[in-house]
Chain A
């Protein structure tokens, strides 16, 4: 029975019948047989989570499962996100990753989105710890995770707002108003701060505050690089100080 056998995978609502060898991994079936390359292979060892898909609603690593084992299963990949009922043009999670800068290189993003989707299906209003637990099987080497957490918080708020707007199948949780992390109003580019909306996102620990230097101002960075004292912010602190609370994030994820 090393021969190929016929299996049926329902991927993003569409049924596919393919022939696979027993040793064919689910991730290879998705990427190579079905040509859906949104599901990534990062580490190839089951560590990184870039290959995360939902199998019958549960997040799994598709590089740690043979395709034949998913015969008859419903698979959701990143390509299916924008067609879900809760999606507009994009799924709220995808919107969140765009709005909150939840990616840099983007390699881990499909896996992060699927882990986020599984989380929000189970916990529509997760706290930060729950979010960090849910993405603990997904490695990101760019962002330091902060903005990924915010992106998922954004999506949770967005989904709650849409549910409320749709007539409230789920009641708005009063506690989330006071304790909830980032409401959309508290998110990026908040013009009510009176600062420069293009450079200040509304978070003290992110862009250096309304008077802080724009961290993405290339000319200023080049000037700073020429300055032996390193970059100085208007308030007399260096950017290194502002970053101290980011250093412990790696070991929670």
Chain B
């Protein structure tokens, strides 16, 4: 099926894009297009105007700067997958990238686009939450940083303003005693997550958990933080019982729906399991401890 007709604008700069967003009537932003193009074709989305940002070369980056990892709006999933910096330092990002869709889609789809799409089954939102990252929205009045916690509202709905473009997402550069990981359950390659959990652990020099971030995928109306589990972990030393309790708390806080792939009870149990695995990997990557897994791989 073909998309309905639309006007196609291709700005070369962020300024140009923002003034288009300001002047045009209800425009839709096209980045990688791997979700939007099917939506256009099935006419789930029928915009009159599309602002295609693929020509804004200044948004094509993945780098560390001023204490943050920064991904520009045109950083593709494949850029994350192929990055040596990601491999060395950002365990959760390295876990997620190869699990997104398939190679062709990773060559086009963007990380920022996935966050902007705000599909509760998208993986990157959970990573942004677990890392307490920020979304940088650029509008007529300049840039504003939206904390990940305040970004997701409803499925496909965020606090991004109508005249704003997400130009970047950023997460803090990890300290020496920090590790992160992501575990995802999916039926087959190319599928969205049935459930996914991203975890980030920061330890103090004595091996006590100073701070914990846990983001969950596909088990609530948006990507969601497992705050009860996070609180339970902080100030404690990692061990299997602690992680088992954290898994239990994350499962309790999750709110999955039954569907053709599994019942809500099953998905809650999977949140429990995936949380324990992600915590265990995060702790190991932080370099402080190896925590025996209670749940087998």
Residues of A within 8 A of B (CB): 1-2, 5, 21-23, 25, 44-47, 49, 52, 58-61, 63-66, 68-69, 115, 118, 133-134, 136-138, 250-253
Whether the pair A2, B104 counts as a contact (CB closer than 8 A) is no
Q: How far is the CA of A188 from the CA of B111 in the complex (A)?
A: 44
Contact with A136, one of B10, B40, B52, B102 (Cβ below 8 angstroms): B102
Per-residue A-contact encoding for B16-49, CB less than 8 Å = 1, 0 else: 0000000000000000011001101100000000
Chain A residue at minimum C-beta to C-beta distance from B49:
A1
- CB of B103 within 8 A of CB of A2, answer no
User: A64-B33, A137-B190 are known contacts. Are A23 and B7 too (CB-CB below 8 A)?
Assistant: no
Residues of A within 8 A of B54 (CB): 69
Tell me whether A134 and B108 are in contact in the complex, defined as CB-CB below 8 angstroms, given that A45-B38, A64-B33, A66-B37 are known contacts: no
Chain B nearest CB from A73 CB (Å) reads 11
Q: How many A-B residue pairs have CB under 8 A?
A: 87
Q: Is the CB of B8 within 8 A of A66?
A: yes
Interface of B: prevailing SS: mixed
Other A-B pairs, 20, CB within 8 Å; known A5-B8, A65-B108, A66-B37: A2-B7, A21-B5, A22-B7, A23-B4, A44-B1, A46-B34, A46-B105, A47-B190, A52-B104, A58-B78, A58-B107, A59-B104, A59-B107, A64-B108, A66-B8, A66-B33, A69-B33, A115-B104, A133-B103, A137-B103
User: Are A136 and B103 touching (Cβ within 8 A)?
Assistant: yes
**Complex A-B: 28 CB contacts under 8 Å:** A2-B7, A22-B6, A22-B7, A22-B8, A22-B50, A23-B4, A23-B6, A44-B41, A45-B38, A46-B38, A59-B103, A60-B107, A60-B108, A61-B108, A64-B33, A64-B34, A64-B104, A64-B105, A65-B108, A66-B8, A66-B33, A66-B37, A68-B10, A118-B103, A134-B103, A136-B189, A250-B188, A251-B188
Is B3 engaged at the interface, CB distance under 8 Å to the other chain?
yes
Contacts of A49 in B (CB 8 A): 102, 104
CB neighbors of A among B84-137 (8 A): 98, 101-105, 107-108
Choose one: B10, B37, B40, B105; the contact of A137 (CB below 8 Å).
Answer: B105
The reply on B9 being an interface residue by CB < 8 A is yes
Interface check B261, CB cutoff 8 A: no
A64-B37 CB under 8 A given contacts A22-B8, A47-B190: yes
| A-B pairs, 7 with minimum CB distance | A137-B102, A22-B8, A23-B3, A1-B7, A2-B5, A136-B189, A137-B104
Tell me, in angstroms, the Cα distance from A52 to B5 when the chains sit together.
24
